[in-house]
């Protein structure tokens, strides 16, 4: 599998990169940085440091993309991840430097010159993917598969009641990408909450193993632990990005999925970035029920994933 990871590297974004780097059979062709969690340059540094801590310095090019959402004012998640996105660990600056080529061009060039070969894991707001699509709509057909972490699947959001962070940051980009016609799979915040929380025992094992990567994991996780304790009553190790990566790498982790019609709200503040997700009616059904969405599905939505096998994969990676 030839993979591009588009990321606003902070917290779990980094673990997702580790997973891709350390899984045999996966070639991480590029890391592309998108605006999102924390300061844009800091996100680049976080990606570069993650490569270094994993022993992959200079093995994967890092491209910087769009530093701002398309038309919304910037928001960030520093309250969740710390100002540096790494629980304020303030890691040393990595030796590898970002490429001068723009992430949008890196995506277009890789995808267009390798038709049917490249998967993208989009684990950030979708500004880069949307801008690549605006520039070169033919990536829709040339890309093998788009894996998106974003949205909610008819459950409470993590940013507003109606919405999840990645979609909230750039709803127009999300709407563009979801409706562009990609072969695509959506991994929602709802999935994170039902399948992407690391079990306590797994967490204990990680803490106990005391490898460089397990220490990296524990250090990076401290701020999210604190915030989830306040929000949910106990510290949660939530893995939206790395669970999506795990599913992309090994689809047998997907226990349940549905072909859905997905759309994104861009016209209202109360429901900004709400992801409408349903199994659409077919033509016959639409004659009876005139209000429910009808038509062809445009996105596979993961409904349930194998938490235990995901945890095993993550632990295995941190144990190297």
Q: Looking at the annotation, which residues are catalytic?
A: 239
Among Ca ion, a copy of itself, none, what binds residue 200 when CB lies within 5 to 8 Å by partner kind? none
Place of tokens 């999210």: 224
Q: How far is the CB of 240 from a copy of itself (least distance, A)?
A: 17
Cβ atoms of residues 192 and 315 within 8 Å: no
- Residue placing its CB nearer to a copy of itself in the complex, 43 or 214: 43
Count of residues engaged in binding a copy of itself, rule: CB under 8 A? 46
162: nearest Cα among 34, 315, 265: 265
Cβ atoms of residues 48 and 94 within 8 Å: yes
Give residues 126-155 in contact with a copy of itself (rule: CB under 8 A): 127, 130-131, 134-137, 154-155
Its sign, for the CA torsion 234, 38, 67, 159, is positive
DSSP secondary structure, 230-261, as one string: HHHSS---B-HHHHHHHHHH-GGGEEEEEEEE
Q: How far is the CB of 176 from a copy of itself (least distance, A)?
A: 5
223: nearest Cα among 235, 233, 213: 235
Decide: is 126 part of the binding site for Ca ion (CB under 5 A).
no
Q: How far is the CB of 36 from a copy of itself (least distance, A)?
A: 14
Which of 70, 124, 257, 305 binds Ca ion (CB under 5 A)? It is 124
Residues 152-191: x where in contact with a copy of itself by CB under 8 A, - otherwise, as a string: --xxx--xxxx-----x---x--xx--x------------
Decide: is 268 part of the binding site for a copy of itself (CB under 8 A).
yes
Cβ atoms of residues 275 and 167 within 8 Å: yes
Which residues, at least 6 apart from 101, have a Cβ–Cβ distance to it below 8 Å? 63
Cβ atoms of residues 25 and 253 within 8 Å: no
Cβ atoms of residues 15 and 47 within 8 Å: no
Q: How far is the CB of 188 from a copy of itself (least distance, A)?
A: 13
Decide: is 199 part of the binding site for a copy of itself (CB under 8 A).
no
Phi and psi angles of residue 183, each rounded to the nearest 5 degrees, phi first = -70, 115
Which of 4, 5, 6, 13 binds Ca ion (CB under 5 A)? It is 13
Site residues, a copy of itself (CB under 8 A)? 66-68, 70-71, 75, 79, 102, 104-105, 127, 130-131, 134-137, 154-156, 159-162, 168, 172, 175-176, 179, 263, 265-268, 270-271, 274, 276-278, 288-293
Site residues, Ca ion (CB under 5 A)? 8, 13, 123-124, 241
């Amino acid at each position: 599998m030839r993979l591009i990871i588009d990321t606003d590297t902070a917290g779990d974004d980094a673990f997702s990169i580790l997973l891709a780097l350390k899984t045999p059979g996966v070639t991480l062709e590029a890391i592309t940085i998108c605006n999102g969690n924390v300061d844009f340059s800091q996100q680049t540094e976080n990606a570069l440091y993650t490569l270094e801590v994993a022993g992959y310095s200079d093995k994967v090019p890092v491209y910087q993309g769009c530093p701002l959402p398309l038309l919304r004012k910037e928001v960030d998640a520093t309250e969740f991840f710390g100002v540096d996105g790494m629980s304020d660990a303030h890691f040393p600056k990595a030796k590898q430097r970002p490429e001068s080529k723009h992430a949008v061009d890196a995506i277009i060039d890789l995808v267009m010159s390798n038709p049917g070969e490249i998967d993208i894991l989009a684990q950030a707001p979708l500004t880069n993917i949307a801008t690549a699509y605006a520039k070169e709509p033919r990536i829709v057909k040339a890309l093998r598969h788009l894996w998106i972490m974003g949205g909610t699947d008819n459950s409470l959001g993590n940013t507003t009641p109606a919405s999840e962070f990645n979609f909230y940051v750039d709803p127009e980009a999300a709407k563009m990408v979801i409706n562009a016609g990609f072969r695509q799979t959506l991994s929602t915040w709802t999935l994170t909450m039902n399948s992407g929380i690391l079990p306590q025992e797994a967490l204990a094992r990680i803490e106990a193993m005391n490898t460089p990567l397990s220490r990296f994991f524990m250090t990076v996780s401290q701020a999210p632990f604190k915030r989830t304790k306040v929000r949910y009553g106990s510290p949660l190790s939530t893995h939206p990005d790395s669970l999506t990566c795990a599913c992309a790498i090994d689809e047998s982790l997907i226990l349940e999925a549905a072909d859905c019609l997905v759309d994104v709200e861009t016209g209202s503040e109360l429901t900004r970035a709400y992801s409408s997700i349903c199994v659409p009616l077919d033509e016959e059904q639409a004659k009876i029920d005139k209000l429910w969405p009808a038509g062809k599905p445009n996105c596979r939505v993961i409904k349930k994933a194998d938490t235990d096998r995901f945890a095993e994969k993550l632990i295995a990676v941190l144990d190297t």
